[in-house]
A = this chain, B = another copy of it.
Amino acid sequence: MSTPNRTPALSRDQVAEAALGLVDAEGLNALSMRRLAGRLGVGTMTLYGYFRDKDDLLAAVVDAAAGDSPEWEERGGDWRAQLARLAHALRDGLERHPSLVQLRLRRPILTPAALRGTELAMGALLEAGLSRLDAARAFRSLFLYTFGFVAFSAGGSPDELRGQARGALAHLPPEEFPVLHASVEEMARTLSGDDQFEFGLAQLLDGIAARLERPQ
């Protein structure tokens, strides 16, 4: 009675994987139930046998993307080196599926695969000497900075972003914006690129170091 009389032809994972492929290839708004069903050679409404609604599917897609995450596994080095490595891994993971960043903003994902890096980072921070609460806060800062960095870089190609910024800044009234007017090039350089990420990361790690050295 509880045995299925017909076995499904697909699985949730297969559907989510196909959806992820579609999103990576053509962007988030190219993912419609009809298009996905067509690509799977299946009727549109069949998908609703696997997922309650599109939100349910999107959650599974984000999950699938988090699952292909890299090997955060290599350990070694002091806390600073470990955290830098984890921040880079997080950034790389996010940039591998840029379209999904805005989805992750809506509902944070808390699956084991996504929390592996968190576990390691928290371990490094505790080992460095922070309290549990300070470690959690420091990790959160690193996480938010990294996420913000990727989210803002995902708007377009680096050169395109920089070009727009240069144009807009150059046309500001110089008497009202003297500093920006003199710093157009420097501002444009921060809009994306490894050096900006590195700088902010070092800044945050310096902040942690300062807290560690401070007498408590």
Contacts and interface: CB of A to CB of B under 8 A. Distances in A.
B149 A115 contact: no
Chain A interface size, under 10 / 10 to 19 / 20 to 34 / 35 or more? 35 or more
Specify the main secondary structure of chain A where it touches its partner.
helix
Contacts of A210: 206-207, 209-210
A180 B126 CA distance: 11
Contacts of A206: 206-207, 210-211
A139 B173 CA distance: 21
A186 to B, nearest CB: 4
Contacts of A180: 115, 118-119, 122
A89 B139 CA distance: 24
A111 to B, nearest CB: 8
A183 B132 contact: yes
Interface stretch (A39-47, A68-76, A100-108): A100-108
A60 interface: no
A149 B144 contact: yes
23 contacts: A105-B105, A105-B155, A106-B155, A107-B155, A108-B155, A110-B169, A112-B177, A115-B180, A118-B187, A119-B178, A134-B199, A136-B190, A138-B199, A140-B190, A145-B145, A147-B148, A148-B148, A151-B151, A203-B211, A204-B204, A205-B207, A206-B207, A206-B211
